[in-house]
């Protein structure tokens, strides 16, 4: 009886896991309609680079990019995002 319970539980878990493997729904926005993000970065061989990133809604944000040996990161100043009439409300 105990073995049957374990087998039933295992089959239930496997069926639940496979139930999530359905077909993906279509994207709400076609790939060709998505606009890319533009960036302008300072030139230099330093591990820190300053970039001005223009978002798809024309706002601009200043970012610092760290690019070291086998590691990296990105930090952006979201409190001072600028754009045409789209200043960040505090």
pTM of the model: 0.49
Q: What is the pLDDT of residue 27?
A: 58
Asked if residue 88 has pLDDT above 50, the reply is: no
Give the C-alpha separation, 50 to 53, whole Å.
Answer: 10
Asked if 62 and 77 touch (Cβ cutoff 8 Å), the reply is: yes
Hey, where are the domains in the chain?
36-90
Task: Please report which confidence band the pLDDT of residue 31 belongs to, taking 50, 70 and 90 as the band edges.
Answer: low
Summarised one tens digit per residue, pLDDT across range 51-76 is 898 988 888 999 998 888 888 898 99
């Amino acid at each position: 009886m105990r073995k049957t319970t374990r087998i039933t539980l295992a089959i239930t878990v496997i069926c639940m896991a496979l139930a999530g493997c359905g077909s993906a729904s279509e994207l709400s926005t076609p790939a060709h309609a998505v606009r890319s993000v533009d960036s302008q970065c300072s030139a230099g061989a330093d591990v820190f680079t300053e970039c001005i990133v223009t978002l798809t809604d024309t706002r601009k944000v200043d970012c610092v990019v760290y690019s070291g040996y086998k590691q990296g990161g990105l930090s952006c100043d979201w409190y001072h995002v600028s754009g045409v009439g789209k200043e960040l409300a505090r």
